[in-house]
Amino acid sequence: MNELLPNYIAGRWQHGSGAGTTLVDPVLGHDLVRVDATGLDLHAAFTHARENGGAALRAMSYRERAAMLAAVGQVLQAQREAYHQIAVANSGTVKADSAIDIEGGLYTLAHYAKLGETLGDRRFLLDGEPARLAKDPLFQSQHVQVPTRGVALLINAFNFPSWGLWEKAAPALLSGVPVIVKPATATAWLTQRMVQDVVNAGVLPAGALSVICGSSAGLMDQLQPFDVVSFTGSAETAALIRSHAAVVQRSVRVNVEADSLNSALLLPSEAADSEAFGLLVKEVAREMTQKSGQKCTAIRRIFVPEALYAAAADAIAARLAKTSVGNPRNETVRMGALVNRAQLDSVREGLSTLKTQAEVLFDGSGLPLVDADPAVSCCLPPTLLGCRNPAGADSADRVHDTEVFGPVATLLPYRDAAHALTLIRRGQGSLVASLYGSDAQALAATAIDLADSHGRVHVVSPDVAALHSGHGNVMPQSLHGGPGRAGGGEELGGPRALNFYHRRVALQASSAVIAALNPAVAPVANA
Ligand code: NAP
């Protein structure tokens, strides 16, 4: 039998008592390792993290916790090759796609290590300026933020076992809040290995970081009023979490990053030979194939003026046709596999649903897989769908509400700018929309028009063609999350990420007391 990976809870490595779930190589079909959480003492796990990890972290200043994150980053840097090997085997991703997860996680960690240094030697944050509460300025109100006195339960999706861990854990640990991570079972190996390396290196205080792999059963039951849960995954699981007694009755704070039908929009003023048109085509093809389309931020709907529908279809199809799909160990391969057979089936089912309302503009399934057996591997070449006319874009409701989590997108023609915005809003709230154009005024106005239904608007104009960070790339400096269907959550956004892990309180006192909050005058410890 394959190795059973241990969980790390209550300061000890512990195996589940069940047979476990086997993780599988999605290209070769081999069994890899097993994970199991059966019979773990979850109460002891949460209590240890909350009491020991929390107290130790809160006793440190932001600067000390920032140095701790930097040390975590160094430990992980030294093992990057091992992480890439796990990613190829367990996620079936080509090197560049594994890097989005692995290097993206390390970059985010480094960002928060640097940001933490700027917060200095204090143990709480001042929030805004003092406000006088009466005519006499002596009595004032000052808001402060202190780390929540609980544990952060991080529940992650299968597509980012590294980045998903660190983009949540870095702000939590910097805030002084201990973390228990529950990776998605299908790809739990990389998360488990990273936690193992960090724990074994001894760079974190006891109880600061725990990992539980396998079933999520019972995790939410452990949450107490000052704990928080940060969830990434499907809307269905999000609904279960939101309706759990911990949230409904105990006011556990919850952040949800769910699914999203992200858009790319070519502005009406652009022609088929414009630079902006070329930039849209390039970005769409990249977004459809990167990580086999298994990115929550990937472009799912592409909006072009109706006169450019055929030209856009041809140009995107020509790029997709050049994508070699197959075994990521072969250097000629540009796109690897979907994560497992369940996802392959789910993508095929979603494609059939979309095809009832859209035509197929490019079908890569006729092309041979490279070094991969179609009967065994979970490789699926890209498919571009389309609705031939603007009326079709209106009536095709599945296209606006079915997230196919794979290399699939739909091209939609629009009549005018107002029509494009109406169609985009039918996504009911998305993580990101990208705009392509060359008129700065029109781009800015459209970005503001779309701002209320998106967490991020990514604007690509010719002047930033070689600079922009990519439609789907989540940068720690910018907000990640989206309203409505996207889950209503907020992550990252530089220092904004710390808000979720802090409690804001208004202190009302004499101006002398308020002045004493400044650690330069009188250091205040709240451990
Ligand atoms: P999922 O099935 O909802 O699973 C997400 C996580 O929730 C997994 O760790 C899963 O554990 C756990 N889970 C399942 N049932 C639970 C329960 N009752 N209580 C607590 N946790 C539970 O989603 P997925 O298939 O892994 O991920 C794909 C989806 O995530 C897509 O829809 C994608 O759009 C979305 N996503 C969103 C973002 C974002 O940032 N907005 C990022 C990535 C992915 P098991 O694996 O053990 O079932």
CA 109 to ligand 1 center in whole angstroms: 22
Question: Is 387 one of the catalytic residues?
Answer: no
| 25-51 as b/e: b if 16+ CB within 10 A | bbbbeeebbbbbbeebebeebbbbbbe
State the closest ligand 1 atom to the C-alpha of 489, by its place in the atom list counted from 1. Answer: 41
Question: Is 64 one of the catalytic residues?
Answer: no
Encoding tokens for residue 363?
């079908």
Q: How confident is the model at residue 367 (pLDDT cuts 50, 70, 90)?
A: confident
In whole angstroms, give the CA distance from residue 143 to residue 63: 21
CA 183 to ligand 1 center in whole angstroms: 9
Tell me: pLDDT of 215 over 80: yes
State the closest ligand 1 atom to the C-alpha of 257, by its place in the atom list counted from 1. Answer: 41
Ligand 1 pocket by Cβ (under 6 Å): 155-160, 182, 184-186, 216, 220, 232-234, 237, 240-241, 257-259, 296, 403, 405, 431, 487
Cα distances (angstroms) measured from residue 520 to each of 54, 114, 248, 395, 484: 25, 21, 41, 63, 43
Give the closest residue (by CA) to ligand 1 atom 39.
257
CA 246 to ligand 1 center in whole angstroms: 18
Tell me: pLDDT of 98 over 50: yes
Which whole number is the average pLDDT over 475-490? 98
Give the closest residue (by CA) to ligand 1 atom 15.
237
CA 162 to ligand 1 center in whole angstroms: 14
State the closest ligand 1 atom to the C-alpha of 158, by its place in the atom list counted from 1. Answer: 26
Which whole number is the average pLDDT over 58-79? 98
Tell me: pLDDT of 351 over 80: yes
Could you tell which of 22, 23, 158, 168 is best to mutate to test the pocket of ligand 1, judged by most ligand atoms within 8 Å of the CB? 158
278-317: per-residue pLDDT in tens? 999 999 999 999 999 999 999 999 999 999 999 999 999 9
Per the prediction, the chain carries an average pLDDT of: 96
Give the closest residue (by CA) to ligand 1 atom 10.
184
CA 231 to ligand 1 center in whole angstroms: 8
Cα distances (angstroms) measured from residue 409 to each of 159, 333, 384, 406, 500: 18, 21, 5, 9, 33
Give the closest residue (by CA) to ligand 1 atom 21.
216
The answer to whether the CB of 46 falls within 8 A of the CB of 150 is no
CA 419 to ligand 1 center in whole angstroms: 33
Q: What percent of the chain has pLDDT over 90?
A: 97
Could you tell which of 91, 159, 347 is best to mutate to test the pocket of ligand 1, judged by most ligand atoms within 8 Å of the CB? 159
Higher pLDDT, 385 or 522: 385
Which whole number is the average pLDDT over 96-106? 98
Give the closest residue (by CA) to ligand 1 atom 22.
216
With a CB cutoff of 8 Å and minimum separation 6, the contacts of 453 are 424, 425, 427, 428, 429, 430, 482, 483, 484
Tell me: pLDDT of 526 over 80: no
Give the closest residue (by CA) to ligand 1 atom 41.
257
- Euclidean distance between the first and the last CA atom of the chain, given in angstroms as a whole number: 46
Tell me: pLDDT of 387 over 90: yes
CA 295 to ligand 1 center in whole angstroms: 12
The answer to whether the CB of 190 falls within 8 A of the CB of 87 is yes
Task: Please give the pLDDT value at position 1.
Answer: 75
Q: How confident is the model at residue 519 (pLDDT cuts 50, 70, 90)?
A: low
Task: Name which of 300, 402, 301 is nearest 350 in CA terms.
Answer: 402
Give the closest residue (by CA) to ligand 1 atom 11.
184
Tell me: pLDDT of 116 over 90: yes
With a CB cutoff of 8 Å and minimum separation 6, the contacts of 254 are 228, 229, 230, 231, 241, 242, 247
In whole angstroms, give the CA distance from residue 263 to residue 431: 9
State the closest ligand 1 atom to the C-alpha of 160, by its place in the atom list counted from 1. Answer: 43
In whole angstroms, give the CA distance from residue 323 to residue 366: 13
State the closest ligand 1 atom to the C-alpha of 186, by its place in the atom list counted from 1. Answer: 46
Task: Please give the pLDDT value at position 109.
Answer: 98
Could you tell which of 153, 189, 296 is best to mutate to test the pocket of ligand 1, judged by most ligand atoms within 8 Å of the CB? 296
The DSSP output letter for 303 is E
Residue tagged active-site, from 167, 270, 283, 296: 296
Task: Please give the pLDDT value at position 521.
Answer: 41
418-474: per-residue pLDDT in tens? 999 999 999 999 999 999 999 999 999 999 999 999 999 999 999 999 999 999 999
Give the closest residue (by CA) to ligand 1 atom 47.
185
Residue tagged active-site, from 257, 270, 490, 491: 257
CA 255 to ligand 1 center in whole angstroms: 13
240-275: per-residue pLDDT in tens? 999 999 999 999 999 999 999 999 999 999 999 999
The answer to whether the CB of 251 falls within 8 A of the CB of 225 is yes
Lowest mean pLDDT of 135-139, 186-190, 336-340, name the range: 135-139
Q: How confident is the model at residue 518 (pLDDT cuts 50, 70, 90)?
A: confident
CA 186 to ligand 1 center in whole angstroms: 10
Task: Please give the pLDDT value at position 522.
Answer: 39
Task: Name which of 169, 181, 160 is nearest 83 in CA terms.
Answer: 160
Give the closest residue (by CA) to ligand 1 atom 43.
296
Task: Please give the pLDDT value at position 523.
Answer: 37
Cα distances (angstroms) measured from residue 48 to each of 42, 195, 218, 251, 452: 10, 17, 16, 21, 41
139-186: per-residue pLDDT in tens? 999 999 999 999 999 999 999 999 999 999 999 999 999 999 999 999
